[in-house]
Chains A and B, each alone.
Chain A
Amino acid sequence: MPSADQQRASAIIAFREELARLEAAGVIALDLATRDRIRAHHDAALARLAAAGDVDLSAAAARLSTGMRVATLLGTIALSAAYGLFVSSHWGALALVPQLALVTLPSLLLIALTHVAAARERSGYVASLLATVAAIAFAINLGTLAQLFNLPDSRTALLAVGALAMLLAYGYGLTLPLVVGIGGIGGWLWTLGAIPLHLWWRDGFGVIEPLLLVGLVTLTAPAWLPGPAKFAGWYRGLGATALVVGLLAVENYGRLSAFTTVNPHAIEIAYKLIGAVVLTALVVWGIRRDDRLVVQIGSAGAVLYLFMRLVDWFWDLVPRWLFFLLVGAFALAVLLTLRRLRRVQVEAR
């Protein structure tokens, strides 16, 4: 998801390319003074954006940035795995104090290193990696403390890890820790559904309604939660994903509902109706807000939803070849409808 700075830089670069095409085609001919003024203004803006953060000023730089993001993710996974495996392989040979130091100090050290990296390296990739590993090290810290002292597993660990990730994400404007933070706090909120049902907190993950609420809250978070503009897309994307996954799960497996005492078949029918409304609303909401990611997630959910309904209605009724012919025809119908919608939008613009 491009940041506001990246969008501005991309718009300037696109303007320059289009202006060059217009001039080459003889559509316009700006006088030298005007062109220099625009160029100087844009140069200053690009320099300011480049100094403020990680902005790609060419297609090649954008490709390199993608590589850096992938490397950040891989590095985070590898470093976290290395630390977790190091702890488990040396755990048994240590006395209590070194055991505590082994699990407590790394997260403290990684937080300090995140601060240093954020100050020294403006792109934020290294800080993002360090902050995420710090949050994961904290999770390992709490997990091993529980193991060491035979403490029962607890949802509070999710809240603590999520809070740490959020602190680092908001403190330094980092998106990867934000994802961990949303996951941690969202997971904690999800498990709260276990309390009124008298379930162990882990079994709360088997109840979908709290996930739907968490999805809704996350989807709307950018509207009421202040923060960097680049975070909004992540909130909306993760919120939409939670909604779509939750709805698709519960409409097929009614026993995942909190209302298990009701007939699961009735629950599934109710959620099929709710799903049709919510998925349509999600796509419409995304189109109105011009939020491409929400539209894509909502559309993917709607297509899956419709495919499942086709299976429900026709799989046992018609021969297999006819079923897939129907699916193909349905896909074609969706394609034509979307094409017509796109044409209407283009004409409206």
Chain B
Amino acid sequence: MKWAIVALALVVVANGVALLSVRRERAAPATLATIDVCAGDLIGGSASDEPPALRLVVAPESLSMPAGLDAPGLRALGFTESVIAAVGWTPDSTFRWPRPRPAWVRLRQRRDSLAQLAVVEVAPRRALLTPDSASIVVRGLVGMRSRWSGPAPTPTGDHDHAALSRVAARGVIDPTVVELIPAQLHLDRLQIATLRAALAGTVGCAQKRQAVIANGANGGIWVEAVR
């Protein structure tokens, strides 16, 4: 009987610790940021087998390098000097792709029609990212990828096609946020019902609603409200 009691206690304590820490975190959110939500950002709900959630969609290409992904920032994340020195260069046969490193990531929503999130800052510790009400902070993994590098766009936004033929495009080593943790935020049944009803029949970001994302003092993140 004592084994069963200890096993029961383990389950109760594990759940209790998780619930108490969440409750304490949610009692006093550190920041509240409002973001636009499109129909394509929603997952699950109603008859779906997937749990209802709001996807954190990060823009695939950042036009500017996020703060914290320069050489000192990469060093602070634990990347080796040989990897840092190779950033911006085409990898040769001796280059060994490093494993991703955990980091804290500040995301800010772009003001374009897609309303995707852009990574604006990366840091090894959350305390290094000062809270503000225009961005959200989540965990993430920073890794190296091969980015296609060609001639830069002209000031008008067009590509110089003559330059494209003169300079062969090549893949260069580029630090980037490869994963957000969590990659989606849970929505309760009322939140998903509200958003689904408001965005029903829309495609992409033709219509938008708003979600208030809360960041807790200890790194927690949740959807506080939708409207």
Residues in A lying within 8 Å of B, measured CB to CB: 85, 88-89, 91-96, 100, 104, 107-108, 111-112, 114-115, 134, 138, 141-142, 144-153, 160, 163-164, 167-168, 170-172, 197-200, 203, 206, 255, 260-261, 264
Contact = CB atoms under 8 A, between A and B. Distances in A.
B175 interface: no
B96 A255 contact: yes
Contacts of B220: 149-151
Contacts of A141: 11, 15
B186 A149 contact: yes
A104 B15 CA distance: 8
Interface of B: 1-4, 6-8, 10-12, 14-15, 18-19, 22, 44-46, 48-53, 77-78, 80, 82, 96, 98-102, 139, 141, 181-182, 185-186, 188-189, 192, 220-222
Nearest to B23: A149
Given A95-B188, A107-B11, A197-B78, 19 more contacts: A85-B49, A89-B49, A92-B50, A92-B52, A96-B188, A104-B11, A108-B11, A111-B7, A138-B14, A141-B11, A144-B51, A146-B18, A150-B185, A151-B22, A167-B3, A168-B7, A198-B78, A199-B101, A199-B102
**Nearest 6 A/B pairs, CB to CB:** A171-B3, A198-B78, A115-B4, A200-B102, A167-B7, A149-B22
B223 to A, nearest CB: 8
B77 A260 contact: no
Contacts of A151: 18, 22, 182, 220
Contacts of A168: 3, 7
11 contacts: A92-B50, A111-B4, A141-B11, A149-B18, A151-B18, A171-B3, A172-B3, A198-B77, A260-B96, A261-B80, A261-B82
A92 B4 contact: no
B221 A150 contact: yes
Interface of A is mostly: helix
Q: Which of A85, A93, A146 has its CB near the most chain B CB atoms (within 10 A)?
A: A93
Given A141-B11, A197-B99, A152 B52 contact: no
A200 B143 CA distance: 11
A93 to B, nearest CB: 6
A283 B2 CA distance: 40
Contacts of A146: 18
Contacts of A89: 49
